[in-house]
Amino acid sequence: MSSTGSAITDCFLTWVDILEETEKSKVGGGKGRMHGPTGKHEHKPD
């Protein structure tokens, strides 16, 4: 994977992070998303 692709992925994950935090504060507790031991999100399929 190229460093450019990695940077885009990191940017996207950060954006998703912000979106999730906003959603959590809106619904009060979010939808039970899991956080992995590395600090990254582990998304479960819907």
Q: What is the pLDDT of residue 30?
A: 45
pTM of the model: 0.37
pLDDT tens string, the chain, 46 residues long: the values are 567 788 889 989 999 898 888 877 766 544 555 554 555 555 565 5
Where exactly are the structural domains of the chain? 1-25
At residue 14, the pLDDT reads 92
Buried b / exposed e along 14-44 (16+ C-beta atoms within 10 A): eeeeeeeeeeeeeeeeeeeeeeeeeeeeeee
Give the largest Cα separation in the chain, rounded.
38
